[in-house]
Structure 1
């Protein structure tokens, strides 16, 4: 190999090495490579927060009431109730089912069932909206099935640690299938007063609930219902109670009376 060729070959390799070194060095204006782990890592402050839960509080109470008499008139009455409330930031869902069973002188008098569902929107505010639906059967009033559905607004008059009082007004569609007379369908205005009051450092509680429901297309068709209970809490979970209930319906079958009243004694268990 001649000396001139070797010199040229050496110069070529030196020139190529210089170009390769400069190519591997990033320029100041070119974009820099970002490590994969830095791309995947997310700062805690920038993490997406999950939406708030629909319900964050559950309150419940189960009630057993009764009234028994023996002698000239043998009477037995059992009333089973439940109160369930699912509360959230914007929506409340509540149901108050009950079942009543009673005999008088060995003859079945009451075998009544009732279930409802209340959907309250923004109930934590002073004024709120709600929708409701209810199903009812009654051997006492000879009703095979009563259906109700409607919506309205509520207003919280007082809400303190010892007193809670609210007023509601709703428009309801009602259909009642009696055993003998023809089905009665009507539109009602339903006005309700509901209150809970505690006294003597919560040693005595008074609960009351009143419905006044005239039919808008026939004012002679009127219903009302009132229940008042006096309660003595034994501890956080158990409460002794007595209640008085009065109900009235102007449209009844020929063999039924319009007004009914009863007094019961019982106990409730729950965190409500």
Structure 2
């Protein structure tokens, strides 16, 4: 999908709108020593208008039980409209999150900031960095609330060759009021294209939060293998 989007962006006319959809579904079930059920899905829609405007919409949901007890119920939604011209990027962001693993009942983020592409081409290969300033409100399961401003640094690396696509996005988000309050996350996905619209995906997702609800843990790692579907019009 990355190569399709990049190529289309470079070929679009000023009055052209392109829509690209990508969806992934994975699941796991086991019985015996450990009884576990897990379902995971990610959905993404990319709108591009003309040669300079883009609007990615992304969502993910994970639901999992272990020995019939709820362990994972993770929801993440975000929109990151941007303006690009040459190597320069200007981003805005709006996000909503819930996490049973990290004890988050509601988290809302709003922000904006610049970005820069060190390298990009029509094949979807890219190395870019952005630095956004965000305002964030988090309500935890234990009843506490945290409101803070963060500096959100993102490193994006994308590489594609023939039927293989590698994508990696890394975030470092310290609070501007207390640098001991920070978050770090990485999502790396390797996609093997099977047909024009179907691909097999391997994903590694790691998150660390220095502030978390009592009884929860600061680190979480997910490794998934599944199938994705992509189309454009």
Question: What is the TM-score of this pair, normalised by structure 1?
Answer: 0.76
- Any residues of structure 2 matched to 1:82-93 within 5 Å, and which? 82-89=43-50, 90-93=52-55
CA deviations 1:129-171 (Å, max 9, x no partner) are 1111101111222211000000011111111225222111100
For residues 104 and 168 of structure 2, what CA distance do their matches in structure 1 show? 26
Match of 2:93 in 1: 132
Structure 1 stretches of 5 or more lacking a match? Answer: 1-51
Match of 1:154 in 2: 115
Shift of 1:71: 2.8
Q: Which has the higher contact order (CA 8 A, sep 6+)?
A: 2
Over the residues paired in the alignment, what is the CA RMSD in angstroms? 1.7
Task: Tell me, yes or no, if the aligned pair for 2:104 and 2:213 is still in contact at 8 Å.
Answer: no
Task: Tell me, yes or no, if the aligned pair for 1:67 and 1:263 is still in contact at 8 Å.
Answer: no
Shift of 1:70: 3.2
Match of 1:6 in 2: none
Structure in which a larger fraction of residues adopt helix: 1
1:173 pairs with 2:132 = no
Shift of 1:124: 4.5
Count of aligned pairs between the two proteins: 218
Match of 1:186 in 2: 148
Bigger shift: residues 67-76 or 128-137: 67-76
Larger radius of gyration: 1
Task: Tell me, yes or no, if the aligned pair for 1:67 and 1:264 is still in contact at 8 Å.
Answer: no
- Any residues of structure 2 matched to 1:1-272 within 5 Å, and which? 53=15, 56-89=17-50, 90-121=52-83, 123-160=84-121, 161=123, 163-199=125-161, 202-271=162-231
For residues 104 and 157 of structure 1, what CA distance do their matches in structure 2 show? 44
Structure 2 stretches of 5 or more lacking a match? Answer: 1-13
For residues 155 and 61 of structure 1, what CA distance do their matches in structure 2 show? 25
Question: What is the TM-score of this pair, normalised by structure 2?
Answer: 0.88
For residues 162 and 150 of structure 1, what CA distance do their matches in structure 2 show? 26
Task: Tell me, yes or no, if the aligned pair for 1:67 and 1:265 is still in contact at 8 Å.
Answer: no
Are the structure 2 counterparts of residues 231 and 116 from structure 1 closer, same or farther at C-alpha, using a change threshold of 3 Å?
same
Structure in which a larger fraction of residues adopt strand: 2
